């Protein structure tokens, strides 16, 4: 349980890592870990909404993940499609907007259609945004933004660049990575310039509401300076 005075980050981003290792420890196939990962996501989304998070961005499939076995890639695609249909009712009920960020190339027509349909259905009346980074790469996003800007002929600046990115959400204050790896893995490269990073050893399928609260409590202890100094010596 979070204390009343706890500051809830407006935008939390999560690298959901460790599904494969979680499954391996249980002598199960990797896909079993991803399925459990989808369950963990469901709980974290509901909890985030409850405590007042406004934007939750999760890394579900990177542009590099195509290099995994055909079997695993297919399973991840199917799992995402299943997630879209199983979550529709709850997302609408809980006023959660569903958004997908990433490139369309390589993603099947039927999955793109399912994404479009849920994005449209949840776009009107919402209190939180769930942004799923799917077929997403931070460098691709920056390159795509740059090309978009070039096409408009507009000169880019640090201030206007974000309008060419996939979405114009506030930058995440908190970036969480599960399973103990200290890497960014090409996630939100532009947006995390000043994010606080929290790494936990917990594998993603075991990541619970309590673990999210712990990350937020830890975030509350940080002194955020954005490059400046609060107490000049
Ligand atoms: C990283 O674990 C996880 C992924 C590459 C996929 C994330 C997908 C989910 C959490 C499934 C649910 C998502 C949706 C949107 C349905 P890993 O496989 O790299 O684990 P490892 O490092 O232990 O091998």
Contacts from 29-32 at CB under 8 Å and sequence distance 24+?
A: 30/72, 31/71, 31/72, 31/75, 31/79
Per the CB < 8 A criterion, the answer to whether 174 and 154 are in contact is no
pLDDT in tens, 137-150: 999 999 999 999 99
> What's the number of domains the chain is made of?
1
Measured by CA distance, the residue closest to atom 22 of ligand 1 is 18
201 is catalytic: no
Q: For residue 63, what are its two tokens? A: 């542009």
Dist. CA 131–CA 171, nearest whole Å? 13
17 is catalytic: yes
In a domain, 147, yes or no: no
In a domain, 59, yes or no: yes
In a domain, 153, yes or no: no
In a domain, 71, yes or no: yes
The residue whose two tokens read 């300076």 is 225
- Residue 127: exposure state from Cβ atoms within 10 A (0-12, 13-18, ≥19): exposed
pTM over 0.85: yes
Query: Which residue out of 17, 131, 135, 211 is catalytically annotated?
Result: 17
Measured by CA distance, the residue closest to atom 18 of ligand 1 is 20
- DSSP states along 134-174: EEE-HHHHHHHHHHHHHHHTPPP-TTTGGGGSS--PPPPSE
* Mean residue pLDDT across the chain: 96
Expressed as residue numbers, the domain containing 129 is 11-137+172-219
For residue 230, the model assigns a pLDDT of 62
In a domain, 60, yes or no: yes
Pocket of ligand 1 (CB under 6 A): 16-21, 34, 37-38, 41, 60, 65, 79-80, 83, 132, 179, 204
Question: 14, 24, 38, 60: which to mutate for ligand 1, most atoms within 8 A of CB?
Answer: 60
Rounded to an integer, the average pLDDT of 112-118 is 98
pLDDT in tens, 167-217: 999 999 999 999 999 999 999 999 999 999 999 999 999 999 999 999 999
In a domain, 156, yes or no: no
Dist. CA 59–CA 73, nearest whole Å? 15
For residue 233, the model assigns a pLDDT of 47
Task: Give the CATH number of the domain where residue 21 resides.
Answer: 3.40.1180.10
pLDDT in tens, 48-95: 999 999 999 999 999 999 999 999 999 999 999 999 999 999 999 999
Consecutive H or E run containing 83? helix 70-93
For residue 209, the model assigns a pLDDT of 98
């Amino acid at each position: 349980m979070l204390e009343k005075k706890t500051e809830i980050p407006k935008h939390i981003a999560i690298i959901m890592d460790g599904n494969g290792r979680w499954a391996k420890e249980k002598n199960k196939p990797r896909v079993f870990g991803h399925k459990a990962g989808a369950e963990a996501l469901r709980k974290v989304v509901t909890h985030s909404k409850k405590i007042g998070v406004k934007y939750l961005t999760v890394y579900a499939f990177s542009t590099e993940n195509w290099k995994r076995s055909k079997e695993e890639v297919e399973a991840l695609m199917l799992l995402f499609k299943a997630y879209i249909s199983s979550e529709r009712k709850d997302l609408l009920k809980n006023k959660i907007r569903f958004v997908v960020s990433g490139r369309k190339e390589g993603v099947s027509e039927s999955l793109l259609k399912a994404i479009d349909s849920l994005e449209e259905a949840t776009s009107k009346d919402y209190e939180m945004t769930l942004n799923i980074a799917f077929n997403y790469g931070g460098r691709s996003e920056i390159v795509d933004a740059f090309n978009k800007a070039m096409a408009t002929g507009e000169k880019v600046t640090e201030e206007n660049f974000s309008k060419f990115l996939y979405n114009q959400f506030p930058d995440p204050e908190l970036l969480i990575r599960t399973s103990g790896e200290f890497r960014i893995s090409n996630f939100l490269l532009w947006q995390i310039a000043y994010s606080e990073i929290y790494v936990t050893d917990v594998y993603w399928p075991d990541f619970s509401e309590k673990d999210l609260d712990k990350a937020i409590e830890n975030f509350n202890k940080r002194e955020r300076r954005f490059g400046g100094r609060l107490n000049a010596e």
